[in-house]
Structure 1
Amino acid sequence: MGDNLKGIHHSAYRCRDAEETRAFYEDRLGLPLAAVVQEDHEPGTGTYNPFVHLFFRMADGNFIAFFDAPKSAGEFKPVHGFDRHVAFEAEDEATLLAWRDRLNAEGVPCFGPIDHGFVQSVYFYDPNGLPLEITTRVAAHDAILEEDARKARAMINAWTARKAREALGIAA
């Protein structure tokens, strides 16, 4: 059934300020502002909660989106990349390194590249504390993932057993 899901149209996050977020994604990252939806009431519930929903278009036609909803609760401080992050894909390693150098030159701390085997990545934060990654595939990307897919279920089973042993205080 999942084979009829052709991709991610957009991923959406909260932002603390629409203009600050627009400037970062459009002016700094070069993603054009494609749409803004402004509403006074939440869809579905009708709750009064004025917001704007911003959509930035990526080269593949998909979007990253943000809600500026001042009446909604939430803090805007950096979160760990394990909790959530967005990974953009660059064409090649030269482009990846150019992004890292550009962001650092513009005062956006960006570190890496980190070698993950199948990709190389650099990391930084947006103004809302959302961890961002720019990644590029290595030449053997598809072959590496194909091999990993053959072992994936066994690895999850082993990981689940390890967590259960550790929860019981049994050495791994």
Structure 2
Amino acid sequence: MLQGIHHAAYRCRDAQETVAFYKQALDMDLLLAISEDRVPSTKEPDPYMHIFLDAGRGNVLAFFELPNSPAMGRDEATPAWVQHIAFQVADLDTLAQAKAKLEALGLDVVGPTNHAIFQSIYFHDPNGHRIELAANTVKPGDLERLREVAPAMMEEWGQTRRTVKQAAWLHEAEFSAS
């Protein structure tokens, strides 16, 4: 039934600032903008600017600026590292180049972090959204191995709500070195 993600939408403080940031930092072009006085799905009166950015390969990242709503916040019950937008880059060289570019723009960049099947860097956009850039480093058989243990991991997690170990090999070398 599904053919892919049409777009993912987030809130922004300032649509113009958001368009400029994503163009400068990630070379994402503005595809279109929609502005209405009422929400089409609910008919609520709530003026907004809805922008759509080209995230590559037909992927679209969208934002809403809502001038009549209270100031943006975040779900304080969820750790800041959990909610993020992750974009794929071609390879580790591209990841390193992106990190250098982002740091030259004055952004704090965490990483690269080795996740065994990919490496990534993290930074924040002007709205406070955490952004991840990831370069795949998966080795033959790794994804199949992870898919194989996924059902058992879900079952054990559902029963215990404690860390399960079937995929611990992903970070074993990293944690044993610390």
TM-score (norm 2): 0.83
Matches within 5 A, 1:61-140: 61-76=58-73, 80-82=80-82, 84-140=83-139
Distance 1:136 1:39, change over 3 A: same
SS across alignment from 2:150: helix
Distance 1:108 1:61, change over 3 A: same
Cα distance between partner residues in 1 of 2:117 and 2:138? 8
Deviation sequence 1:49-93 (CA, Å, 0-9, x none): 1101000012211100000011123524696121x2110000000
Q: 2:40 corresponds to which residue?
A: 43
Cα distance between partner residues in 2 of 1:85 and 1:157? 26
Cα distance between partner residues in 2 of 1:53 and 1:93? 33
1:143 to 133, 141, 144: 141
**2:108 maps to amino acid:** P
**2:160 maps to amino acid:** R
Deviation at 1:139, TM superposition (A): 4.3
In the alignment, is the contact (CA less than 8 A) between 2:53 and 2:61 conserved in 1?
yes
Equivalenced residues, count: 159
In the alignment, is the contact (CA less than 8 A) between 2:116 and 2:138 conserved in 1?
no
Deviation at 1:14, TM superposition (A): 0.4
Deviation sequence 1:88-123 (CA, Å, 0-9, x none): 000000000111111011101111110111110000
Cα distance between partner residues in 1 of 2:30 and 2:37? 21
Distance 1:74 1:152, change over 3 A: farther
Cα distance between partner residues in 2 of 1:120 and 1:53? 32
Cα distance between partner residues in 2 of 1:152 and 1:62? 27
Cα distance between partner residues in 2 of 1:29 and 1:129? 16
TM-score (norm 1): 0.86
SS across alignment from 2:161: helix
Q: 1:162 corresponds to which residue?
A: 160
Q: 1:29 corresponds to which residue?
A: 26
Distance 1:81 1:102, change over 3 A: same
SS across alignment from 1:70: coil
SS across alignment from 1:72: coil
Cα distance between partner residues in 2 of 1:111 and 1:27? 19
Cα distance between partner residues in 1 of 2:138 and 2:152? 26
Give the CA RMSD over aligned residues. Answer: 1.8
